[in-house]
Homo-oligomer: A and B are copies of this chain.
Amino acid sequence: MALSREQVVVGAYSVLQEQGLGGLSMRRVAQHLGVQPGALYYHVASKQELLAEIASRILADPPTTDPRQAARDLRAALLRARDGAEVVSFVHAFRPDALAALQTLPALFTDLPPREAGWAARALVHYVLGFVAEEQNRAELVRLGVLPDDAPDADEAFEFGIGAITAGSYLDPR
């Protein structure tokens, strides 16, 4: 039963859940699948490509509602995967167009001219990725006991930020 690209991606995803992004190596994925490291390269061109595949699965479907709700959904999707924000940020950095789910964001800023809608979408994405990366990092440090578990106002803080970024860009609140 030959290995498949799908199995490689799923295997990598589960290594990510168990070890975090820092522990996600090609060699560990191979070990997890009971195969030699070189075998992975028959199904996947590089670690970057593998990460891009994982990132788009983390993001899942493109947003369809208003920008604020899209930001909330994006945050929720990132929080579902261990180090989700870090993985997506990494991919977003060197291949922004690889993430289809982020491509439709500008169209949600219906009352802005195209140029500005693009800028607004980028601002929102940068904010969400940065916010959740910090959030997941803190959670990890709390898990390791190196940080006290304060700041339960993450939801409120997040909402403040998206409120600010989208303020004035479209008029119906809530």
Contact = CB atoms under 8 A, between A and B. Distances in A.
Contacts of A129: 126, 130
Given A120-B160, A164-B165, A169-B164, A94 B125 contact: no
Interface residues of A, number: 34
Interface in A33-75: none
Interface string A89-106: 100111010000000000
Interface string A107-123: 00000000110111011
Contact of A126 (B86, B130, B160): B130
Interface stretch (A1-9, A10-18, A23-31, A131-139): A131-139
A75 to B, nearest CB: 12
Number of copies: 2
Nearest to A138: B96
A141 to B, nearest CB: 8
Contacts of A137: 93-94
A40 to B, nearest CB: 22
Contact of A167 (B131, B160, B164): B164
A168 interface: yes
A126 B160 CA distance: 14
Contacts of A123: 127, 131, 160-161, 164-165
B134 A122 contact: yes
Contacts of A161: 119-120, 122-123, 126, 165
